[in-house]
Amino acid sequence: MDEKLRKILENAHRAVFFGGAGVSVESGIPDFRSPDGLYSRQFDVPAEEILSRGYFDAHTEEFFRFYRGRMLYPAARPNAAHRALARLEAAGRLRSVVTQNIDGLHQAAGSRRVWELHGSVHRNHCMRCGRFYGLEAVAGCTGVPRCSCGGIIKPDVVLYGEALDSRVLSGAARDIADADVLVVGGTSLNVYPAAGLLRYFSGKELVVINKTPTPADRAASLVLTGPIGSILGGEPGREEAAAAAEGPQKQ
Cis-peptide, bond into residue 248, ω within 30° of zero: no
Amino acid at 57: D
29 belongs to the binding site for ligand NAD (CB under 6 A): yes
59 belongs to the binding site for ligand NAD (CB under 6 A): no
The pattern of x and - marking residues 162 through 201 that bind ligand NAD according to CB under 6 A reads ------------------------xxx-xx----------
C-alpha to C-alpha distances, 164 to 108, 117, 171, 200, nearest whole angstrom: 23, 7, 12, 17
Separation of alpha carbons 30 and 36, rounded Å: 7
| Part in contact with ligand NAD (CB under 6 A); list of ranges 57-65, 86-94, 100-108, 242-250 | 100-108
> Could you say which of 82, 106, 118, 122 is catalytic?
118
Output the CA angle 216-218-221, nearest 5 degrees.
90
Q: By C-beta, is 6 or 13 nearer to ligand NAD?
A: 6
**201 burial level (CB within 10 Å; 0-12, 13-18, 19+):** buried
C-alpha to C-alpha distances, 225 to 34, 69, 83, nearest whole angstrom: 14, 30, 19
Amino acid at 21: A
| Part in contact with ligand NAD (CB under 6 A); list of ranges 144-152, 206-214, 215-223, 232-240 | 206-214
Q: By C-beta, is 181 or 232 nearer to ligand NAD?
A: 232
Q: By C-beta, is 87 or 122 nearer to ligand NAD?
A: 122
40 belongs to the binding site for ligand NAD (CB under 6 A): no
Phi, psi dihedral angles at 121 (to 5 degrees) = -70, -15
Cβ within 8 Å of residue 105, ≥6 positions away: 23, 24, 27, 76, 77, 78, 79, 82
State yes or no: is 118 an active-site residue: yes
- Applying CB under 6 A, among 31, 116, 175, 240 the residue interacting with ligand NAD is 31
Tell the smallest beta-carbon distance from residue 185 to ligand NAD (Å): 6
- Applying CB under 6 A, among 9, 21, 84, 197 the residue interacting with ligand NAD is 21
Residues contributing to the site for ligand NAD (CB under 6 A): 20-22, 24-26, 29, 31-34, 37, 100-103, 118, 186-188, 190-191, 210-212, 227-228
